Structure 1
Amino acid sequence: MTTVDLHRLTGAYALDALPEEESTAFERHLAGCEPCAQETAELSATAARLGLAVASTPPTALREQVLHRITAVRQETPGRQLQSRIARVGPRARALSRWALAACLAGATALGGTAIWQHQRAEDARDQAQRAAQAADEIAAVLAAPDARTRAAGLAEGATGTVVVSRDRDRAVFVVSGMARPPGGKVYQLWFDDAGTMRPAGLMNPDRADQAVLLRGGVDSASGMGITVEPDGGSQHPTSAPVALMTFPS
């Protein structure tokens, strides 16, 4: 392994992705390389913020809801229960059985609609989870890229932001902590700065103060990024003064 190789291992080391032999060699290298030590510290802090940004705490009542639903599951089909009740109450119930059947069919139809709605919600949740997992993998790939470079800056109202750029992967990640909520009906939009021309790069989640965002599109020749406040859904061009401007690390 050469010294040049060691200089390119900051991202992998920050994510604990190096084999033991390479990790030991890189730690010896850190002792005498201030630029690598600083960049490793910045990437480690970014990785920690990323973990906080994508973490999700389950609702406190989730366990009780699951246990309650388990106890409410029927052990016998509704049809069998209905037949046994009709047999017990005699001929009068049999005379009314067609009304009971109609009621059961109506109930089944309603339950069927509910089941379809619940199934759709489950499918939507699964798709959302898959997209989130894919985004997290892409973000981690940028952080672990051998050429990943970082730049941190203070933002308004005490927030802090870090941009991580991998030119080899042609992607950038923005990690923010303590971001104030935008005004009602507004959203923070990210932009690539292409020599003074702002190119849309995605939206931030207005409900999260801490988050990591994979900027949409390739870095290309962008020299930096900006953040503006835009109408919900975003804009094709900035409609307000930048909240922040950050140059990309070289």
Structure 2
Amino acid sequence: MRTEDLHSLTGAYALHALPDDERAAFERHLPDCGSCEQESLEFAAAAARLGLAATVSPGPVLKDRVLHRVTTVRQVPPGGGTVERARRVVPRGRGLARWALAACVAAAAGLGGTAVWQYERAQEAGDRATQAQQRAEELAGVLAAPDAASRTVRLADGASGTLVVSDRQDRAVFLASGMAEPPAGKVYQLWFDDHGTMRSAGLMDRGRGSQAVLMEGDVDDAAGVGITVEPAGGSEQPTSTPIALMSMPA
């Protein structure tokens, strides 16, 4: 599919309305398109809120009362007595109505639970989107800081890395370009070098060779930055020889 076509699928994706081939194509596109990711999250949140607004969950008293009545209503035994006796036991119309009411209550309860679940997931997605937006703003703030200083180094296989530091903001950003994907089950981890003691500064996205990473934590008086290959999820301390070491830019 063309990229411009993929941009138009955010709403259908949020509503799980895409066929498998289009869904797979859109999910391949999503990690590289922040606007589509944000729009999909917003559509999902809106759909969940609409579903919740259209659903009325029955009160526990009504539900218990209906389910109790269902268990006490006798059914007409097959061939068991005359029509008149059967009607005295339970009129057919009333029995069907009770079963229909019970089914409606159960369905309403299920739909209410589904809407609540969707709403909670949408809230979580919204929280993640908000956090991502805050990090993006902080990252842009470091790059645009008047006192931002940078240092670029060559990495393996023609890749490069640029370290940008703002002393005033006490934050750092690492810009990667053309880095090879780490081995299966591994991830690149960034470290602040506190004069010989390595302090974790976060993980890089293993699926992106070129990316901008807002490093976690304050720069403080770190002397430099290192990159190691670590098990998925990262390590408390480096477990491999650094593939790059950079001193702080002047």
- Separation in 2 of the partners of 1:122 and 1:201? 29
- Structure 1 residues 114 and 159, CA gap change in structure 2 (3 angstroms): farther
The superposition leaves residues 209-229 of structure 1 with CA deviations (integer Å, 9 ceiling, x where unpaired) of 232111111112212101111
Unaligned segments of structure 1, at least 5 residues? 1-52, 79-90
- Asked whether the equivalents of residues 54 and 211 of structure 1 are also in contact (C-alpha less than 8 Å), the reply is no
Deviates more, 1:203-212 or 1:226-235: 203-212
- Separation in 2 of the partners of 1:136 and 1:54? 14
Pairwise CA distance, 1:92: 5.4
Identify the residue that residue 34 of structure 2 maps to in structure 1: 56
Identify the residue that residue 158 of structure 2 maps to in structure 1: 158
**What is the letter of the counterpart of residue 183 of structure 1?**
P
Pairwise CA distance, 1:189: 0.8
The superposition leaves residues 10-35 of structure 1 with CA deviations (integer Å, 9 ceiling, x where unpaired) of xxxxxxxxxxxxxxxxxxxxxxxxxx
The superposition leaves residues 119-175 of structure 1 with CA deviations (integer Å, 9 ceiling, x where unpaired) of 111011111111111111111111121110111222223322211011121111011
Give me the CA root mean square deviation: 2.8
Identify the residue that residue 213 of structure 1 maps to in structure 2: 213
- Separation in 2 of the partners of 1:247 and 1:228? 15
Pairwise CA distance, 1:94: 4.8
**What is the letter of the counterpart of residue 56 of structure 1?**
G
Identify the residue that residue 233 of structure 1 maps to in structure 2: 233
- Asked whether the equivalents of residues 194 and 221 of structure 1 are also in contact (C-alpha less than 8 Å), the reply is yes
- Separation in 2 of the partners of 1:204 and 1:112? 39
Percentage of pairs with the same residue:
59
Q: TM-score, normalised by structure 2?
A: 0.62
Pairwise CA distance, 1:192: 0.7
- Asked whether the equivalents of residues 150 and 164 of structure 1 are also in contact (C-alpha less than 8 Å), the reply is yes
Structure 1 counterpart SS, 2:228: strand
Q: For 1:71-220, what aligned pairs fall within 5 Å after superposition?
A: 94-220=94-220
Pairwise CA distance, 1:238: 0.3
Identify the residue that residue 33 of structure 1 maps to in structure 2: none
Pairwise CA distance, 1:180: 2.2
Aligned pairs, number? 175
Identify the residue that residue 42 of structure 1 maps to in structure 2: none
Structure index of larger Rg: 2
Pairwise CA distance, 1:236: 1.4
- Separation in 2 of the partners of 1:141 and 1:54? 21
- Separation in 2 of the partners of 1:106 and 1:150? 62
- Asked whether the equivalents of residues 174 and 213 of structure 2 are also in contact (C-alpha less than 8 Å), the reply is yes
**What is the letter of the counterpart of residue 152 of structure 1?**
T
- Asked whether the equivalents of residues 55 and 111 of structure 2 are also in contact (C-alpha less than 8 Å), the reply is no
The superposition leaves residues 31-86 of structure 1 with CA deviations (integer Å, 9 ceiling, x where unpaired) of xxxxxxxxxxxxxxxxxxxxxx9842638xx7xx99xx8xxx9xx999xxxxxxxx
- Asked whether the equivalents of residues 55 and 112 of structure 2 are also in contact (C-alpha less than 8 Å), the reply is no
- Asked whether the equivalents of residues 149 and 166 of structure 1 are also in contact (C-alpha less than 8 Å), the reply is yes
- Structure 1 residues 152 and 54, CA gap change in structure 2 (3 angstroms): farther
- Structure 1 residues 169 and 54, CA gap change in structure 2 (3 angstroms): farther
Deviates more, 1:155-164 or 1:132-141: 155-164
- Structure 1 residues 57 and 161, CA gap change in structure 2 (3 angstroms): same
- Separation in 1 of the partners of 2:149 and 2:235? 28
Pairwise CA distance, 1:118: 0.9
